[in-house]
């Protein structure tokens, strides 16, 4: 009778789709969260930028290279549900690192603090635009490849 009742519920004989178990969903969503990705990029870029500011009085290739490499690695490590955050986070993390790590240069100059802060942000973003675009594009490429491979597995 149980076989008859099962066929009555599913007359076409199509097996019912089972939802993935919580363990299977958790294993497919391993990695760091989007917020942690932002913090890692900002921290590494900020530390490299701080030493760069002490040595060169500006963000140079040292901070830019650290930013691009960190953006690439974080895009590899971020969990699949936060993939697009790995593309959005790098420019915001660079701005955060620039504002925080650039303070030694703004505090030693004369004049208005507001003008020095605006100058720090404007020149820092302008002169480091290739690194900002490079890190963001590297993260975007990694995210697109990871999305394509996850779709092909499904």
Has residue 36 been placed in a domain? yes
Whether 114 and 69 have beta carbons less than 8 Å apart is answered as: no
Q: How far apart are CA 13 and CA 95, in angstroms?
A: 58
Q: Which residues contact 104 (CB under 8 A, 6 or more apart)?
A: 50, 53, 54
Task: Provide the percentage of residues in the chain whose pLDDT is more than 90.
Answer: 56
Question: Which pLDDT band, with edges at 50, 70 and 90, does 11 fall under?
Answer: low
- In which element (H, E) is residue 78 found? none
How many domains are there within the chain?
1
pLDDT at 110: 76
Evaluate whether residue 17 is within a structural domain: no
User: pLDDT tens digit string along 91-100?
Assistant: 999 999 999 9
Instruction: Please tell me whether residue 32 adopts helix, strand or coil conformation.
Output: strand
Q: What is the pLDDT confidence band of residue 153, given thresholds at 50, 70 and 90?
A: confident
Query: Stretch 69-75: mean pLDDT, rounded?
Result: 96
Let me know if residue 93 belongs to a domain.
yes
* pLDDT(32) > 80: yes
Please check whether residue 21 lies inside any domain of the structure.
Answer: no
Please report whether residue 5 resides in a domain: no
75 in any annotated domain: yes
Write out the residue range of the structural domain in which residue 135 sits: 31-153
Q: Does residue 12 carry a pLDDT above 80?
A: no
């Amino acid at each position: 009778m149980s076989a008859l009742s099962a066929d009555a519920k599913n007359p076409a004989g199509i097996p019912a789709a089972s939802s993935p178990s919580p363990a299977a969903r958790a294993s497919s969503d391993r990695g760091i969260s989007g917020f942690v990705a932002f913090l890692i990029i900002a921290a590494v870029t900020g530390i490299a930028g701080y030493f760069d500011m002490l040595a060169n009085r500006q963000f140079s290739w040292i901070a830019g290279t650290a930013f691009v490499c960190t953006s690439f690695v974080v895009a590899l490590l971020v969990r699949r549900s936060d993939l697009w955050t790995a593309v959005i986070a790098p420019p915001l993390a660079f701005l955060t690192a620039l504002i925080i790590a650039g303070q030694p240069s703004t505090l030693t100059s004369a004049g208005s603090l507001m003008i020095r802060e605006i100058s720090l942000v404007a020149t820092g973003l302008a002169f480091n635009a290739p690194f900002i675009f490079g890190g963001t594009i590297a993260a975007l490429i990694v995210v697109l490849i990871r999305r394509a491979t996850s779709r092909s597995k499904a």
